[in-house]
Amino acid sequence: MTAIDLAKSKCKPCEGGVSPMSADEIAKLLKQLHGWEAVNGVIAKSYTFKNYYQTMAFVNATAWISHREDHHPDIAVGYNQCRVTYVTHAINGLSDNDFICAAKLDALFDL
């Protein structure tokens, strides 16, 4: 699955009962995403912007995507940067949803 395929996908409800992705599955999908890393059971990426306004515009776009997909990241915000972290809490690990949302965030820069 490519980053474009991921960005066009929709998140599926996850209420537990499924296993988190294996290390091999995570590595395969991470190859499709630029700048994302797997750290301590989550995927994360830091984004840098010119100013606070651009940072907050990205944060708001992230909130909109999260609402539409019903899959919400942790976001740490600073003046000209933010770090986005995804994990599927219901399974205490990573699922397709995390990679779908990560790809959607990166696709914002192609608009």
Which position has the higher pLDDT, 8 or 57?
A: 57
What pLDDT sits at residue 11? 86
8/36 Cα distance (integer angstroms): 18
User: Has residue 15 got a pLDDT over 90?
Assistant: no
Q: What is the pTM of this model?
A: 0.92
User: Has residue 111 got a pLDDT over 70?
Assistant: no
User: Has residue 3 got a pLDDT over 90?
Assistant: no
Please write the tens of the pLDDT for every residue from 74-95.
999 999 999 999 999 999 999 9
Residue with tokens 């995570």: 26
Please write the tens of the pLDDT for every residue from 28-68.
999 999 999 999 999 999 999 999 999 999 999 999 999 99
CA 39, distance to chain mean position in Å, is 13
Q: Which amino acid is at 101?
A: C
38: β partners: 43
Query: Structural domains in the chain?
Result: 3-7+19-110 (3.30.1360.20)
Which position has the higher pLDDT, 11 or 111?
A: 11
Which position has the higher pLDDT, 62 or 12?
A: 62
